[in-house]
Structure 1
Amino acid sequence: MQSSSALPVRQGVLYVALAATAWGTGGAVAAELYDVGEIGPISVSFWRFLTGLGLLLAAHLVRRSRRPKTALSLRATFAANPQRALITGFGLAVYQTAYFASVQQAGLTVATVVTLGSGPVLITVGARLTLDERTGVAGTAAVASGVSGLVLLMGGADGSTGPAPLLGIGYALLSAAGYAGVTLLGRFSGRENGGSAFESTVIGFAVGTVCLLPMALLEGPLPDMERPAWALALILYLGAAPTALAYTLFFAGLGAVRATTASVVALVEPLTAAVIGILVFDERLNAIVLTGTVLLLLAVLFLAADEGGGQVAFRRASAPRADQDQHQPRPAMLTKD
């Protein structure tokens, strides 16, 4: 089935890649916020959600004022499918917070490998079972290349083991499951109603903020105020680039690309983090990390090309022949609004 989204496939891939790039900067900002603000992972996620929600609401008001007849209201979007909105918001809160908790317990390397390495596998299986997305030989090889590159990239980098590795791995698997659920649900939403991706993102973050609030209150939500200007700047950036902007692009892109493709393109996130490490922290790439980086880029580029080629092939196969148009009646076609 062809997606109902009007977004071109290659542009959808670009949107997902840009979102993953912004996510790649979020880890460094969050780590700095831990040191400056001295708060835990739940509170960091809460402030990220709250700030991102405020920016998304402001953008929504601008959209509504400029396009009052076409921009959907948040109430209408939520009423169209409240269960989808609640699940998306809860999934966003779970997978982001669980990943931060995994980093604390198992260390950055183990947490990243388990979370991002198992995510594409869970999404591939879920897409086959729930969305009937078939992964051919090329797609399977691309997923394997991306995951292998990620393992090499993270395994070759220096990393420390956390205080409770088994607990951390459990958090990472929970994070991957939440990420897979949100990705699959976003893909389904894009098929059914691609025009409401932005409004759905706003509602998802509103639900996630409410879910995180009680846990943040228990953990201690207020950051240390010894450096208030720097802490505020970090929170604002965390809510703007890797949250409001990134998730808007991500959910918009999911309306045009397959869930499995999006999951592999999103592996650009650790690549971005590695580049930041080289430029900012003067880290050096060894042969293992360099090989993993190449495999990651090849997987992303191959899937982008394969996605566009598959869409062209679909249109050619679906185009009626001239003699059929002239001599045979056209069957009734089912369309989705």
Structure 2
Amino acid sequence: MGCPRRHRDGNQSRRSQLQSSSPLSVRQGVLYVAIAATAWGTGGAVAAELYDVGGIGPISTSFWRFLAGLGLLLAAHLVRRSRRPKTAPSLRATLAANPRPALITGFGLAVYQTAYFAAVQQAGLTVATVVTLGSGPVLIAVGARLTLGERTGAAGTAAVGSGVVGLVLLMGGVDGSTGPAPVLGIGYALLSAAGYAGVTLLGRFSGRENAGGAFESTVTGFAVGTVCLLPMALMEGLLPDMEHPAWTLSLILYLGAAPTALAYTLFFAGLGAVRATTASVVALIEPLTAAVIGILVFGERLNAIVLTGTALLLFAVLFLAADEGTGRATPQRASDPDLSRGQPVSQPTTRAED
């Protein structure tokens, strides 16, 4: 019995020597993620409209979204550098300091967004978004436990079980009423969820040590993603139809602005202040937003089996939420020299109840 007590005392002693490196409070971080999730919830609907108006596929839609978002992010970066030349890091310095996270983030964003748009095209807005955001937190919970030391406890087992049953019901219950190939769409959604989980975990790991460079990391990530998408977009058919040029350009600009430049900047900044699993719970605002748009705007209808599967997926995330800790996210040693260089420091997350 003495060892557990000494372990807890040791944890308390270590926590007294640590402080969070994030400039945001947990409440601010949650707000940032919530705003990002709301913006994301509109992205699938705008992409679906762009398919019809522009006549392009999911890869090209993702490319134009990334390109428009990158342009806006670069403009904002130039403004930041002109106003705060000493404190706002350059993109070259950001990429040189952490080249591997930038490359992985860019590739993960490209996979995540393109697979999601493909899922919307094949399974419909509501089903694609629910599967992506419902299974994503389960993957994040497992990944966070293995890579970040974030514990989920008994709720993790319940979440995985609920999520698996929900996916099985969704795959067996979907029909052509939501999309032309719903099972294929669910497969794309699972691929999107895997990319989303990877980006979230990497953003959590990097953001908690280098939250001040979250914006620049977002810019470099989207630059890499744009380059990754260009060859595939050229093969798919890059240029949209311009029968309605004003509306087509407006859709592309919106995709680049709200659910891309704004949402991801807020999301990665918020990950510096909240746990990865917490962020995935708050991001449930996205499927709720998408479901409302899908039902009211696109006339999607979900049968009883699909609704049950949807509920189980959402319950899986709520199970994880029930086991979440409180307090500021991921403390780090104040004297750690790696923090000044923006290098990731392998430091397990501590929780208030540990």
TM range (shorter): 0.7 to 0.9
Which of 132, 136, 157 pairs up with 2:149? Answer: 132
> In 1, Cα distance between the equivalents of 2:287 and 2:116?
13
1:45-124 to structure 2, matched below 5 A, reads 45-124=62-141
Which of 195, 210, 218 pairs up with 1:201? Answer: 218
> In 2, Cα distance between the equivalents of 1:282 and 1:162?
11
Contact 1:120 1:143 in 2 (8 A): no
Contact 1:4 1:190 in 2 (8 A): no
Per-residue Cα deviation, 1:155-187 (whole angstroms, up to 9, x for no partner): 999963655555434322221111111000000
> In 2, Cα distance between the equivalents of 1:145 and 1:268?
19
Per-residue Cα deviation, 1:111-141 (whole angstroms, up to 9, x for no partner): 3343222211111010001001112456777
Contact 2:44 2:125 in 1 (8 A): no
CA shift for structure 1 position 190? 1.1
Contact 1:148 1:292 in 2 (8 A): no
Mean CA deviation greater in 29-38 or 102-111: 102-111
Which of 34, 37, 52 pairs up with 1:35? Answer: 52
Listed as ranges, the gaps of 5+ residues in structure 1 are 316-331
Which of 292, 297, 310 pairs up with 2:326? Answer: 310
Mean CA deviation greater in 121-130 or 158-167: 158-167
Which of 248, 252, 255 pairs up with 2:269? Answer: 252
Mean CA deviation greater in 37-46 or 284-293: 284-293
Q: Which amino acid aligns with 1:311?
A: G
> In 1, Cα distance between the equivalents of 2:329 and 2:263?
30
Contact 1:106 1:169 in 2 (8 A): yes
Q: Which amino acid aligns with 1:203?
A: T
> In 1, Cα distance between the equivalents of 2:126 and 2:334?
50
> In 2, Cα distance between the equivalents of 1:180 and 1:7?
22
Q: Which amino acid aligns with 2:326?
A: G
CA shift for structure 1 position 105? 3.7
> In 1, Cα distance between the equivalents of 2:202 and 2:147?
10
Aligned positions, number: 319
TM-score by length of 2: 0.77
Identical aligned residues as a percent: 84
Contact 1:146 1:264 in 2 (8 A): no
Q: Which amino acid aligns with 1:196?
A: G
Two-structure CA RMSD over aligned residues (Å): 3.7
Q: Which amino acid aligns with 2:259?
A: P
Mark the CA change 1:235 to 1:297 in structure 2 (over 3 Å): closer, same or farther: farther
Q: Secondary structure at the match of 1:15?
A: helix
Mark the CA change 1:76 to 1:166 in structure 2 (over 3 Å): closer, same or farther: same
Mark the CA change 1:145 to 1:6 in structure 2 (over 3 Å): closer, same or farther: farther
Mark the CA change 1:262 to 1:245 in structure 2 (over 3 Å): closer, same or farther: same
The answer on 1:227 being equivalent to 2:221 is no
Mean CA deviation greater in 254-263 or 147-156: 147-156
Which of 283, 286, 289 pairs up with 1:269? Answer: 286
Which residue in the other structure is 2:191 paired with?
Answer: 174
TM-score by length of 1: 0.80
Per-residue Cα deviation, 1:292-316 (whole angstroms, up to 9, x for no partner): 78x969977x94x986x7217999x
Mark the CA change 1:12 to 1:251 in structure 2 (over 3 Å): closer, same or farther: same
Q: Which amino acid aligns with 1:237?
A: Y
CA shift for structure 1 position 145? 8.4
> In 2, Cα distance between the equivalents of 1:314 and 1:248?
20
Mark the CA change 1:4 to 1:298 in structure 2 (over 3 Å): closer, same or farther: same
Contact 2:109 2:195 in 1 (8 A): yes
> In 1, Cα distance between the equivalents of 2:298 and 2:178?
20
Q: Secondary structure at the match of 1:311?
A: coil
